[in-house]
Amino acid sequence: MTLPRVKKALNIDTETLVALKVMKPNTLDTKLEKEISALQMLKHPNIANIIEILYKASYKKKNGKVVTRDVIVMELADKADLFAFLKLSFNLSPSGFPEPILRGLVRQLVEVVEYCHQNGIVHRDIKPENILLDAEYNIKLADFGWAAVIDNKYHKTIAGTK
Ligand SMILES: Nc1ncnc2c1ncn2[C@@H]1O[C@H](COP(=O)(O)OP(=O)(O)OP(=O)(O)O)[C@@H](O)[C@H]1O
Ligand SMILES: [Mg+2]
């Protein structure tokens, strides 16, 4: 995992590893709610599915300071995100992914995007950093912080990277 705010943890009830997305203290409630409500409407093998939300969870940081944050507990995508995987693969083989691997990744991506749209959610920030890979190198789409419900309204917000 590249960013310190998404941490790996052991769920002691299920004895599985999970990802904890610790929300920054200044995260707008609306952004958090958007991410949570989109994730709660979806469940798919190619999404980093939500497990539970911990509102105002307190925990001790390495420096001993106790902080309180909202935390999204979700399925862990154990391997790198697609951006890191692309970079690594490029160093090994500058001609790109072998076609069978690429075909598998693209098929999963198209399927999961179609699933989101069929369930009324548009992600609006699909980019390699938000396409994660699990232990078997299956796609886990993540980061629904910019997601919107399909409501036939014209959305004027600029979403994602310019
Ligand atoms: N479920 C997960 N399993 C493993 N790693 C994850 C998971 N979710 C996120 N990550 C890692 O953390 C990084 C940041 O997560 P995410 O994209 O959700 O946050 P963000 O980009 O900071 O979000 P936002 O755009 O809402 O501020 C990802 O690129 C990925 O490397
Ligand atoms: Mg992201």
- Model confidence pLDDT, tens digit, residues 81-95: 999 998 888 888 888
Rounded to the nearest angstrom, the distance between the alpha carbon of 90 and the centre of ligand 1 is 22
Q: Is the CB of 111 under 6 A from ligand 1?
A: no
- Model confidence pLDDT, tens digit, residues 91-124: 888 888 888 989 999 999 999 999 999 999 999 9
pLDDT bucket at 3, cuts 50 / 70 / 90: very low
- Model confidence pLDDT, tens digit, residues 29-83: 777 888 999 999 999 999 999 999 999 999 888 899 999 999 999 999 999 899 9
Residue 125 a catalytic site member: yes
* Domain residue limits at 138: 5-149
CATH at residue 72: 1.10.510.10
Residue 28: Cβ within 10 Å count: 11
Tell me the HSE value of 61 on the side-chain side, using a 13 A CA sphere: 9
pLDDT at 46: 98
- The DSSP bridge pattern shows strands 139-141 and 131-133 to be antiparallel
Nearest atom within ligand 1 for CA of residue 145: 26
Amino acid at 32: L
pLDDT at 95: 85
> Does any domain span residue 123?
yes
Q: Which listed ligand is nearest to 20 at the C-alpha? A: 1
Q: Is the CB of 72 under 6 A from ligand 1?
A: no
- Quote the tokens at residue 118: 């069929």
> Does any domain span residue 55?
yes
Distance from C-alpha of 53 to C-alpha of 21, rounded to nearest angstrom? 10
Alpha helices in 18-142 (DSSP H): 29-40, 82-92, 99-118
Number of structural domains found in the chain = 1
Atom 21 in ligand 1: residue holding the nearest Cα: 143
Q: Of 13, 70, 81, 125, which is the active-site residue?
A: 125
pLDDT bucket at 4, cuts 50 / 70 / 90: very low
- 139: nearest Cα among 96, 72, 71, 85: 85
